[in-house]
């Protein structure tokens, strides 16, 4: 079955720096990859979708890359702010309907 791994450690960065989160997968060839934000006690909130034929996608301070050769996606938050502190989840699908999630990376932005 597919295996999806995200940064195993929590990530702490200084305000204003760029946060980079990784999502690696094996035994899978997804056509779609999503990134979500999850705050404590809340459901995940969709941020970005990137397709297998897209190398990069941007939205405001967010940038996602998708390397199907390396089987990896990188998620960047530029000019990070304390309000960006949350858990970030990647999710993969080969149909665009049901998505399978990684375990998430906890990000803390230190003022």
Partner 1 sequence: DAGVIQSPRHEVTEMGQEVTLRCKPISGHDYLFWYRQTMMRGLELLIYFNNNVPIDDSGMPEDRFSAKMPNASFSTLKIQPSEPRDSAVYFCASSLGRQGQDYTFGSGTRLTVV
- Interaction of residue 56 with partner 1, rule CB under 8 A: no
Cβ proximity to partner 1: between 17 and 59 the closer is 59
CB under 8 A: which stretch of 10-18, 63-71, 74-82, 90-98 binds partner 1?
A: 90-98
Cβ proximity to partner 1: between 84 and 104 the closer is 104
Closest CA to 90 of 110, 73, 65: 73
- Interaction of residue 97 with partner 1, rule CB under 8 A: yes
**Token reading at 48:** 């970005």
Among 49, 65, 76, 85, binds partner 1 (CB under 8 A): 49
- Interface ranges with partner 1 (CB under 8 A): 32, 34, 41-46, 49, 51, 89, 91, 93, 96-104
């Amino acid at each position: 079955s597919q295996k999806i791994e995200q940064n195993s450690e929590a990530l702490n960065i200084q305000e204003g720096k760029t946060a980079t989160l990784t999502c690696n997968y094996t035994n899978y060839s997804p056509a779609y990859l999503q990134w979500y934000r999850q705050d404590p006690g809340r459901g995940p909130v969709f941020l970005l979708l990137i397709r297998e034929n897209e190398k990069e996608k941007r939205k405001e301070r967010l940038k996602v890359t998708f390397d199907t050769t390396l089987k990896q996606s990188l998620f960047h938050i530029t000019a990070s702010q304390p309000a960006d502190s949350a858990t970030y989840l990647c999710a993969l699908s080969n149909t665009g309907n049901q998505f399978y999630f990684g375990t998430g990376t906890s990000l803390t932005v230190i003022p």
